[in-house]
Amino acid sequence: MNQTVKKYADMQGFTLIEILITMLISGIVMGAIFSIHQSQQQVYIIQEDVVAMQQNGRVGMDIVAQDIRTAGYNPSDSTAIGFVTNQNFSNGGGLSEAVTTGASTIAFTSDLDGDGTIDAAAQDINGDGNTDITEMEQIAYRLNGTNLQRYSTTTGIIEWQTVAENIQAIEFFYTFADGTQSTAPTLADLPNIRAVTTTLLARSANQDLKFIGPATFTTPSGAVWNTQAGFRYQMLTLTVECRNMGL
C-alpha cells in the first residue's frame, strides 16, 4: 500500500496555471498566424484587382484605338464617310440608334470592304465565314455605367457590346487640321479631325476602404475627374492619328 501511494505521489502533472499559460501562448501564436494569412490574402486580392484593372484599361484602349485608325477609310472616294454627330445608325431592318461624336462618345464610318457604301450590319469582309464587330462599317463607343461599349448589329438587332469593364470615365479630345483642339467638334469640324486623344480612367472592381489614392485626375483637355474612396485607379491616354481623314 505505501509503495502504491508513493508511486502516484511521484507522478508529475500540469497545474491549472500552466495550462492557462499554454493556452494563452497558443492563442497568441494562432492569432499571429491567422493575421499573417489574412494579410497575405488581402495582398493577393489587391494584386489580382490591380492586374484586372490594368488589363481592362489596356484592352479597352487597344480596341478603341484600332477602330479610330480606320475612321474615314474610303478607298472608293465616296462622300459622307468619316466622323458623324447627332445621327442615327441603322441596322438595315428598321431599327436605329442615336450616336454622336463628342467628349464622352464617338461615332464614325469606314468603308472596310471598299464598295462605296456603308453597310448597316456586319458582313463577312475577311472571308472567314463569320461576321463580328470588327467587320462593321458603322462604329461608335459609349460608356454605360462603368462598361465601355461598342455599337453592334451583328445579330440583326441593335446591340451595344461591352468591350471593357470597370471604366469610370472616358474622354475623346479632337485635334483638327489647323492644330486647334476641342472635346466638342461641330458639324463643320468633323471632316477636319486629324487625331483623337482617348483617355480612359480604369477602376478596380473591389473597394478597399483602407486605401487612400489620388482624389482627382486631370485629362489632356483639362477636365477634372473625381474618384471614389477606396478604389484604385489607372488613367490611360493615347493619341491616334486619323490617317484616312483629309486624304
> What is the amino acid identity at position 191?
P
Is 27 part of any domain?
A: no
Is 111 part of any domain?
A: yes
DSSP code for 153:
-
Is 107 part of any domain?
A: yes
Is 38 part of any domain?
A: no
Task: Give the domain extent around 209.
Answer: 45-241
Give the pTM.
0.81
pLDDT for position 206 = 87
Q: Indicate the SS3 state at residue 27.
A: helix
Task: Match 486624304 to its residue by C-alpha cell.
Answer: 247
The tally of domains found in the chain comes to 1
Provide DSSP, 60-84.
HHHHHHHHHHTTT--TT--SS-SB-
What are the tens digits of pLDDT across the range 51-103?
Answer: 889 999 999 999 999 999 999 999 988 888 999 999 999 988 889 999 999 99
Is 18 part of any domain?
A: no
Is 158 part of any domain?
A: yes
Is 4 part of any domain?
A: no
pLDDT below 70 — which residues of the chain?
1-13, 34, 37-46
Is 126 part of any domain?
A: yes
pLDDT for position 141 = 97
